[in-house]
Amino acid sequence: MEHSELNWFPQAWQWVRSAPDWGTVPQWATVLIALCAFIAAIVSIRSQREVARKRAATDFFLKTEMDTALLQLHEKYLDAIDKLKMIETEKGEVSDSFANTPDYWAIRNYLNLHELCAVGILNGVFDEGVCYDFWSGELVLAHNNALPLIKYVQKLKNSQNVYAEMEKIAKRWAPKRNVR
């Protein structure tokens, strides 16, 4: 090696020696340990949040499957949907005479349950994967079956956003479920 190629080394060494105090090995070890603890805390918090979201979704679905009142609500919904299909016009609309009937409210009450689930998903309260695995077929089917009523409700004054979240989730999940 030529002498000129090594000229940078004494200058670099001089810079390192004249630089501010970089601390000692124990000080750097402390910083490294603190950084590792910080990363572990972030990973732990994210993991706990994910578990909490999955548990919230599971609790919601357990309630829907075990609560007698909700099971009766589902039965009333199924009966009402059959009646809705019989009175639906060729254009897929609902007549005003159906509104405010017990069947109308049975469908609305059941759709409110789906809307609550959709709001939980869109706001990150429920884990979407758990919700999709357990509820996607039911939500998409309920949306499609009640679509004439949903459109009717959304045409009412100050109601254009009613069931909007459920529609977002149903449209997102329908292609995956191959349900139309």
CB count within 10 Å of CB 83 equals 16
Q: Is the pLDDT score of 79 beyond 90? A: yes
Domain ranges for the chain: 52-177
The answer to whether 143 and 166 have CB atoms below 8 angstroms apart is yes
Report pLDDT for 22: 66
* Cα gap 171→118, rounded to integer Å: 11
Residue-wise pLDDT tens digits, 24-65:
888 889 999 999 999 999 999 999 999 999 999 999 999 999
For 15-24, 91-100, 141-150, 157-166, which range has the lowest pLDDT when averaged over its residues? 15-24
Say whether 23 sits in a helix, a strand or coil: coil
Tokens encoding 4:
């000129």
Report pLDDT for 19: 67
Report pLDDT for 175: 85
More confident residue, 118 or 85: 118
For 85-89, 107-111, 138-142, 176-180, which range has the lowest pLDDT when averaged over its residues? 176-180
The answer to whether 169 and 139 have CB atoms below 8 angstroms apart is yes
Residue-wise pLDDT tens digits, 95-136:
888 888 999 999 999 999 999 999 999 999 999 999 999 999
What is the average per-residue pLDDT within 79-94? 84
